[in-house]
Amino acid sequence: MPVIVRIMPERRSSRTAADRPVIVLAYDGLCTFEFGCAVEVFGLPRPEMGPDWYRFAVAGLESGPMRATGGVHVLADGGLELLEGAGTVIVPGWRGIDAPVPDDLRAALRAAHADGARILSLCSGAFVLAAAGLLDGHDATTHWRYAEALVRRHPALHFVPDVLYVDAGSVLTAAGSAAGLDLCLHLVRRDRGAEVANRIARRLVLPAHRQGGQAQYVERPVPRLRAPASRLAPLLDRVRTALDQEWTVARLAADAALSPRALHRRFREATGLSPGAWLVAERVERARELLETSRLPIPAVAAACGFGSPEALRHHFRTRLGASPAAYRTAFPEAAYP
């Protein structure tokens, strides 16, 4: 079963990181899309979110206009000195996995991390974090095309395949370009709670949390969806609104008017997961929301999500997220206990 995120214990100073500026790096040869992901989530004015929304700035590795993919030029708000006092630093890709990482950038990232900043990489930005030594001993990921090179060059990190992103507490890595949006939304959820993250996701016309890992996106022939695949959409919606019920493969197949074998095939085509794996993923995601936003005790959360027991909830929650439900809830005290 794909692991979406492994949540590791945070350093004590990281709880205040959400109140400090978000700084995104710009450099000559900038990856435009990854840069835009960070700007879209953290850099847009959002007065509807209140006065405590993120403060945002762009730190330029070079002075003057920097070239970005697509003929765009970027002017930064300042240089690497902006990383001093940052709460979050985002490295939006890198100009090439073989491009050297300047010593001053490596030093600035290490200093910001030591001062309590969360350091995020999007796609090939993981090579920058690795060059700075920030991934040594940590779980990390990057785009599947670059995985072999990252592991070969930096054997001290623990590479996690088939994920969209990895949260190792103060160091976070996203797999591919679009997975950068998933990681940014995850950080908003971690900082501000599920309701705020969901509002941002709706503005982006994105799911608040995608299921499955990047194995779904490794190069392969695109499956041709036949008409019966469309039967899954209403079925998935029904299941999501009744996760506390028992959903066997036989019941799912009957509701979709498919044979069990056809159901498995359609689920793989539509979600990248088997029916059972998809159901567990949805139940874990619902448990996340309840733990973040409600006062329900753990046994009640388990029942509301369709797990047969608190033990089953703990097993699946820890398997997918690397933390117990109780430990996860402690990261969202304001949301869970308003």
Q: Is the pLDDT of residue 262 over 70?
A: yes
Q: Say yes or no: 162 and 87 in one domain.
A: yes
Domain enclosing residue 310, as ranges: 228-338
Can you give the pLDDT at residue 242? Answer: 95
CATH assignment at residue 96: 3.40.50.880
Can you give the pLDDT at residue 333? Answer: 52
Can you give the pLDDT at residue 231? Answer: 63
Q: Say yes or no: 42 and 111 in one domain.
A: yes
Specify if 1 maps to a domain.
no
Can you give the pLDDT at residue 226? Answer: 38
Each residue's pLDDT tens digit, 216-247? 344 433 333 334 445 688 888 899 999 999 99
Can you give the pLDDT at residue 52? Answer: 86
Q: Say yes or no: 44 and 188 in one domain.
A: yes
Helix residue ranges, H only, the chain = 32-38, 103-114, 126-131, 147-153, 179-192, 194-204, 232-240, 249-256, 260-271, 275-293, 298-305, 310-321, 325-329, 333-336
Q: Is the pLDDT of residue 26 over 60?
A: yes
**Count of structural domains within the chain:** 2
Can you give the pLDDT at residue 2? Answer: 37
How much is the mean pLDDT over the chain?
85
Q: Which of 97-106, 133-142, 289-298, 316-325 has the lowest mean pLDDT?
A: 316-325
Residue 124: name the closest of 39, 190, 41, 27 by CA: 27
Q: Beta-carbon neighbour count of residue 102 at 10 Å?
A: 15
Q: What is the mean pLDDT of residues 282-305?
A: 91
Measured in whole angstroms, how far is the alpha carbon of residue 147 from the centre of its chain?
18
Specify if 220 maps to a domain.
no
Q: Say yes or no: 196 and 243 in one domain.
A: no
Contact, 140 vs 126, CB < 8 A? yes
Q: Say yes or no: 121 and 35 in one domain.
A: yes
Model confidence at 207, pLDDT cuts 50, 70, 90, reads low
Can you give the pLDDT at residue 234? Answer: 86
Model confidence at 292, pLDDT cuts 50, 70, 90, reads confident
Each residue's pLDDT tens digit, 148-204? 999 999 999 999 887 889 999 899 999 988 889 999 999 998 898 888 888 888 888
CATH assignment at residue 332: 1.10.10.60
Q: What is the mean pLDDT of residues 30-36?
A: 96
- Token pair 């950038």: residue: 105
Can you give the pLDDT at residue 51? Answer: 85
Can you give the pLDDT at residue 178? Answer: 85
Q: Is the pLDDT of residue 4 over 80?
A: no
